[in-house]
Amino acid sequence: MQVSALEGGFSDAPVQAARAFRAAMSAMARPGTIETVTDATPPAPLSVAAGVLALTLLDPETPVYLAGALDCPQVREWITFHTGAPIAGRSTCAFALGRWADLVPLPGYRIGTSSYPDRSATLIAEVDLLEPSGTTLSGPGIMGVSVLSLPETETIQANHAQFPLGVDFFLTCGDRLAGLPRSTKVEAL
């Protein structure tokens, strides 16, 4: 294990994890809202926001799938050291991290069952742009409509069509994150 895997985590884990958890839950409860998170310095190519989400949401009981460039020794070792999360495949993960293009298509991820829709995967997708413009969002947690830049709409619309089954998303860019639960209806402008 390289020294860099030991660095970059929370320096005051209880306080920083609580602050990050609140930001993550706020983003998921209010789709289209962009939250800023800090307090971690994950190894490249993992963004600050994706690293903070990993530190906050992963533990030894939550298998994680790393896609594309994020499936590299420095990210694997950093996640394993700081969270204890086991590295898993696409079909068995609770969380998946990667660039949007590396995470799609969605078939192959757990989407829950009619009895347990909560037993689905959450995808933490790194995107090039995350700002309040572009695609219209509506549904639970949104008063009227909200707008958010999305990497694409068709995949997210197909995921929404499976509701209450499907996957949930966190979109990350630098130190910013937004939540996009499967209950959110997406319409291109």
91 in a structural domain: yes
**What are the E-state strand segments in 21-145?**
34-36, 64-66, 95-99, 122-126, 135-138
140 in a structural domain: no
d(C-alpha 141, C-alpha 25), whole Å: 11
137 in a structural domain: no
Match 């949104």 to its residue by tokens.
142
CA-atom Rg of the chain in angstroms: 16
189 in a structural domain: no
What's the distance, CA 152 to chain centroid? 16
95 in a structural domain: yes
d(C-alpha 174, C-alpha 189), whole Å: 25
103 in a structural domain: yes
Along the 189 residues of the chain, how does pLDDT read in single tens digits?
454 667 777 788 889 889 999 999 999 999 999 999 999 999 999 999 999 999 999 999 999 999 999 999 999 999 999 999 999 999 999 999 999 999 999 999 999 999 999 999 999 999 999 999 999 999 999 999 999 999 999 999 999 999 999 999 999 999 999 999 999 999 976
Domain CATH for 23:
3.40.50.11310
28 in a structural domain: yes
For 30, the 3-state DSSP assignment is: coil
Who contacts 3 (Cβ-Cβ below 8 Å, separation ≥6)? none
Nearest to 150 by CA among 130, 124, 169, 166: 130
Who contacts 106 (Cβ-Cβ below 8 Å, separation ≥6)? 155, 158, 159, 167
Instruction: Give me the number of domains the chain comprises.
Output: 1
Who contacts 125 (Cβ-Cβ below 8 Å, separation ≥6)? 98, 99, 100, 103, 151, 169, 170, 171, 172
User: Where in the sequence is the domain holding 55, given as residue range(s)?
Assistant: 3-131+160-182
Q: Is the pTM for the entire model greater than 0.85?
A: yes
144 in a structural domain: no
